[in-house]
Each structure stands twice: as structure tokens, then as C-alpha cells.
């Protein structure tokens, strides 16, 4: 049970604490209306709190007194520390320019080394700090790399410097000792490679890429050859690379081709382009052969050879007339009668056709294939082998080679007549045929009454 306090005793204690009660004592734990003798304000105070308080006045005055006491103690401590702080700053090479502001406050000072004004804190300087600028310079000097050492590291990596050492983070122009080209690596990158690989380090990026590619290429060589052989190719040279042409023998035709390994691996190409085209054509003809034979028989023909294609002459026997002809399936499907003996056109026997070709200066090299089929023959004029159609020769056609020669001779004759006319127009009489536009032409120059003079000159053209 709490002990009862006499109201008079409580009032005396409140007055001793600088508080004048304005009402009767309510109890130790009840608010008591009093007037503060220090600041003159009326406040509600608790008797039990005032008993424990060591400062006169209300609670506000007590807090203010506590703050003032703390400030006085701090000032005294600061004054006591000022001399020691100044000594520490001077020992660190700093001259204070203002009184000691406190341990954690910036303190304006002048550095005795660089003569610059700085604002360090006492705590920083006491912990080993000092002038900011001098510290930066000392750190840079500590990190600075000797130029000779840097050049030695670059030469270890196979690089010859072409300029002074800039810094470890700046590009440094060098020449690669292995291949002679110019590069600009960072010293830090090359140094890290040298520390990791030692004398085997390579500082040139291009050389690194080439070596990496060579290692990858060597690792792929055996695999690439196995893939080529699996797809029917026989390599003739070592593996050149995935995208480089690789001379190899085609498994289909045995001819030398130059495929790339990338296409062989990606597409599974097992033969060259001509073989693929031939295989496709053969496969298509095999698929169409049955229907083509049925159509040919339905039109009254008996095939005597393999199906060549819808637009090529197909050796067959016409059952209506018993003649061997070379009809085209496309024409028969279009409704045409492809037999010359049955469609009312002029019909030539094999002997008549060969005799006609000889009269046109052609020597047949194969039996008569038909009027619309190219017929291998030898020209009796120039000796070249050509393939004219019988209908073309009947219409007046001849050897292609001879036609080109005749056309060229006609152009030369026409040009010669034109050139002679132009020479005479400028007063020159040609004494020989036109030798050409760039050759000198022997001509006679007329000089009126004095007679003619013979000289050589270019043509007028």
C-alpha cells in the first residue's frame, strides 16, 4: 500500500522545487495545477515526478536546464580538446584557419605541402587522413606504372609499342611482331593475359582470333571429312573451312566439284548440281513414262525407244502406215498428226533425205531422225560438225559456221567500198584493198598539175 503524504508537506516540497500550488493536493499520481516560479507559466505537474526532479521549475524549465548543462559540458570538453586537435592537425601537415569546430565538423585548414585550402574533419585526420589533393596525388603515384615495365610486358605478349605509355586504361598503339599489323590494346588487358598465361600470352586480338579459328578448324577437320564421305563426296584437299569451296569428287559422276561444307551439312547434298538435275529429270521421266507410253499407243504408235520427253522426238512406228518417225508427244496431245505420210505433207525416205543433205554440202553422221529433229552432219565446205534440221535445209538454210564467215566477208566488202569512197572524197586514191581502220593504207595523193604523190595514211574513218 502507498504511504499517505500530508498535503502541507507536499505543498512545501512543491514550493521548494519552484512551483506554487494553485489548488489543494490531489494525490501523488494526479495532475496538480501549479505556477512555475522560474518561467511564470501555469502547468499540470505530478507530485511524484517533482520529488525525483533535481532541477527547480516546471518540466519545461527542467528540460531547458538539462540542455544547458549538456551544452556547458560539451563546450568544456571541446575547449579541453582544442589544443590536442590543433596539435594533431599540425602534425598531419595542416594549418587550422579557424577555431576547433568539433570532431565531426569540417575544419577549414591550409595544406602545408600543396598550399591549398581544404576542409577535413578532426576525426578523419586523427584516423590517418589528411589533405584530399595530396592524398589523390599519392594514390596516383602508387598506382602509376613504370613505362619500361609496361613496354616489357607488351613485348612479352608479342607487341612492339609505337608510342609512349599512355595509361593502363587507354589504347596503346603497338605493332604485332607475329604478323606486322598495327593494333591498339589496353595495357591492363595484356597484363592480365601475361599474368595468366606467361610467355605463351598473345596480346594481338587478330592473332588470338586466328589461333582460335585454327584450333577450331583442326578440331572440325576429321568430323568434316567424315560428313563429306557419308554424303558420297571424296575430299581432294584438307578441310578449308565451313564457308570455303572444298575441291572434292562427286560420288554420282566422279567429276571434281567445289561444294562448301556448310551446304553439305545443312542440306544433306549427296551429289553435285548436274547430277541432281539429271537425277530429277530421270525420276520425272520414269514417273511420266507409263502415261506417255499409254498416250502414244492410244494415238496409234508403237514406241521403239525410251521416252525422251514431251517436247522431243520419240522414235516410234506409226501403225497406220508402217513408217518409222520421230513424233512429239506434245503435238499429238494437241491433236496434230505427226506422220508426214499420213497428214498429206511431202514425205522423204531416208535415202532421199540423205541425198538432199549431200546436195546441200552436208555429210550425214547418223540415220535420218525426222524433218524436225536436229541431224548431226559434217559441213563439206568448212569441215565443222553441225546439227541442222532437215526442214531448215529444205528452206535454204545451211551451215551456221559458213553463214558466219559469209556474213563477215559481206560486212568487210561493204566496209571496204565505204572506206574507198571516203578516201576519194578527201583526195586520196587507194592503191590496195582496205587493210582496216587502224592500219596504214597505201594511197596516191593528187597535186593538180604537178602530178600525183604516193604515200601511206590512215583511212578517213
Q: Tens of pLDDT along the chain (461 residues)? A: 346 778 888 888 888 887 888 888 888 778 888 888 778 888 777 777 777 776 676 878 878 877 877 787 777 777 777 888 888 888 888 889 988 888 888 989 999 989 899 999 988 988 888 888 888 888 877 777 888 888 888 888 888 899 998 877 889 899 988 888 888 888 888 888 887 776 666 667 788 777 777 777 777 778 888 888 888 888 888 888 888 888 988 888 888 888 888 888 777 777 788 887 877 777 777 778 888 888 888 888 888 888 888 888 888 888 888 888 888 888 888 777 677 666 656 567 788 888 988 999 899 999 888 877 899 999 998 889 999 988 888 878 888 888 888 888 888 888 888 888 888 888 888 888 888 878 888 888 865 433 333 444 444 44
The total number of residues written for the chain in this structure:
461
Question: Is residue 53 located within the same domain as residue 74?
Answer: no
Return the CA Rg of the chain: 58
Task: Name 382's bridge partners.
Answer: none
Question: Is residue 75 located within the same domain as residue 47?
Answer: no
Q: Is the Cβ–Cβ distance between 34 and 14 less than 8 Å?
A: yes
- CA 159 to chain centroid, in Å, comes to 27
DSSP assigned state of 242: T
Choose the final residue of a domain: 224, 248, 271: 271
Question: Is residue 172 located within the same domain as residue 230?
Answer: no
Q: Which domain holds residue 194?
A: 145-203
Nearest to 202 by CA among 228, 226, 183: 183
Q: Is residue 312 part of a domain?
A: no
| 340-355 residues labelled b (16+ CB within 10 A) or e (exposed) | bbeeeeebbeeeebbe
H or E segment to which residue 176 belongs: strand 174-176
Question: Is residue 123 located within the same domain as residue 153?
Answer: no
Q: Is residue 302 part of a domain?
A: no
Helix residue ranges per DSSP H, 92-186: 122-126, 132-143, 147-156
Task: Name 303's bridge partners.
Answer: 316
Q: d(Cα 229, Cα 217) in Å, to the nearest integer? A: 18
Choose the final residue of a domain: 175, 203, 231: 203
Question: Is residue 85 located within the same domain as residue 48?
Answer: no
| The predicted structure's pLDDT at residue 378 | 93
What is the number of domains present in the chain?
A: 5
| The predicted structure's pLDDT at residue 452 | 39
Helix residue ranges per DSSP H, 301-443: 329-333, 350-359, 390-394, 400-425
| The predicted structure's pLDDT at residue 459 | 43
Q: Is residue 84 part of a domain?
A: yes
Q: Is residue 355 part of a domain?
A: no
Nearest to 18 by CA among 52, 55, 69: 55
| The predicted structure's pLDDT at residue 455 | 40
Q: d(Cα 73, Cα 80) in Å, to the nearest integer? A: 10
Nearest to 383 by CA among 368, 402, 370: 402
Helix residue ranges per DSSP H, 233-376: 261-267, 273-298, 329-333, 350-359
Handedness of CA 356, 362, 365, 370 (dihedral sign): negative
Q: What is the pTM of this model?
A: 0.32
Choose the final residue of a domain: 140, 169, 191: 140
Q: Is residue 358 part of a domain?
A: no
HSE-CB at 100 with a 13 A cutoff on CA atoms is 21
Q: Is residue 382 part of a domain?
A: no
Q: Is the Cβ–Cβ distance between 434 and 419 less than 8 Å?
A: yes
CA distances (Å), 294 to each of 300, 329, 337, in order? 10, 11, 17
**Three-state SS for 461?**
coil
Q: Is residue 38 part of a domain?
A: yes
**Three-state SS for 118?**
strand
Q: Is residue 441 part of a domain?
A: yes
Angle (nearest 5°) at CA 423 between 419 and 426: 145
Q: d(Cα 268, Cα 299) in Å, to the nearest integer? A: 43
Q: Is the Cβ–Cβ distance between 415 and 432 less than 8 Å?
A: no
Question: Is residue 157 located within the same domain as residue 219?
Answer: no
The DSSP bridge pattern shows strands 234-235 and 117-118 to be unpaired
Question: Is residue 106 located within the same domain as residue 51?
Answer: no
Amino acid at each position: 500500500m502507498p504511504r499517505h503524504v500530508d498535503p502541507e508537506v507536499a505543498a512545501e516540497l512543491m514550493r521548494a522545487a519552484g512551483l506554487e500550488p494553485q489548488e489543494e493536493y490531489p494525490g501523488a499520481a494526479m495532475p496538480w495545477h501549479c505556477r512555475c516560479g522560474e518561467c511564470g507559466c501555469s502547468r499540470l505537474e505530478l507530485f511524484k515526478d517533482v520529488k525525483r526532479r533535481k532541477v527547480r521549475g516546471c518540466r519545461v524549465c527542467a528540460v531547458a536546464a538539462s540542455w544547458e548543462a549538456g551544452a556547458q559540458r560539451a563546450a568544456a570538453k571541446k575547449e579541453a580538446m582544442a589544443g590536442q586537435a590543433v596539435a594533431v592537425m599540425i602534425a598531419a601537415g595542416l594549418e587550422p584557419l579557424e577555431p576547433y569546430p568539433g570532431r565531426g565538423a569540417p575544419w577549414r585548414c591550409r595544406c602545408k605541402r600543396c598550399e591549398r585550402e581544404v576542409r577535413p574533419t578532426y576525426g578523419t585526420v586523427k584516423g590517418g587522413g589528411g589533405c584530399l589533393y595530396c592524398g589523390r596525388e599519392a594514390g596516383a603515384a602508387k598506382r602509376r606504372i613504370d613505362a619500361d615495365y609496361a613496354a616489357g610486358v607488351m613485348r612479352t605478349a608479342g607487341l612492339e609499342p609505337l608510342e609512349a605509355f599512355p595509361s593502363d586504361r587507354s589504347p596503346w598503339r603497338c605493332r604485332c611482331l607475329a604478323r606486322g599489323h598495327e593494333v591498339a590494346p589496353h595495357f591492363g588487358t595484356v597484363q592480365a593475359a601475361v599474368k595468366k598465361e606467361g610467355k605463351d600470352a598473345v596480346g594481338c586480338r587478330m592473332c588470338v582470333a586466328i589461333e582460335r579459328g585454327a584450333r577450331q578448324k583442326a578440331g572440325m577437320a576429321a568430323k568434316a571429312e567424315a560428313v563429306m564421305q557419308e554424303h558420297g563426296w571424296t575430299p581432294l584437299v584438307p578441310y578449308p573451312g565451313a564457308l570455303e569451296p572444298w575441291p572434292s569428287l562427286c560420288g554420282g559422276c566422279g567429276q571434281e566439284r567445289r561444294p562448301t561444307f556448310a551446304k553439305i551439312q545443312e542440306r544433306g547434298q549427296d551429289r553435285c548440281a548436274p547430277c541432281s538435275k539429271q537425277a530429277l529429270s530421270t525420276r520425272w521421266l520414269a514417273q511420266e513414262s507409263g502415261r506417255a507410253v499409254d498416250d502414244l499407243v492410244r494415238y496409234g504408235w508403237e514406241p521403239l525407244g525410251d521416252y525422251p520427253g514431251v517436247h522431243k522426238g520419240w522414235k516410234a512406228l506409226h501403225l497406220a502406215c508402217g513408217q518409222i518417225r520421230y513424233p512429239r508427244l506434245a503435238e499429238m496431245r494437241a491433236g496434230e498428226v505427226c506422220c508426214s505420210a499420213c497428214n498429206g505433207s511431202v514425205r522423204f525416205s531416208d535415202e532421199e533425205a540423205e541425198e538432199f543433205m549431200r546436195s546441200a554440202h552436208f555429210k550425214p553422221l547418223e540415220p535420218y531422225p525426222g524433218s524436225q529433229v536436229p541431224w548431226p552432219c559434217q559441213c563439206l565446205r568448212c569441215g565443222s560438225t553441225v546439227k541442222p534440221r532437215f526442214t531448215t535445209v529444205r528452206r535454204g538454210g545451211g551451215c551456221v559456221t559458213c553463214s558466219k564467215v559469209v556474213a563477215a566477208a559481206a560486212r568487210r566488202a561493204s566496209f571496204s567500198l565505204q572506206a574507198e569512197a571516203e578516201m576519194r572524197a578527201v583526195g586520196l586514191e587507194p592503191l590496195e584493198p582496205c587493210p582496216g581502220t587502224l592500219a596504214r593504207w597505201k594511197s596516191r595523193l593528187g597535186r593538180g598539175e604537178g602530178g600525183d604523190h604516193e604515200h601511206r595514211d590512215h583511212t578517213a574513218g
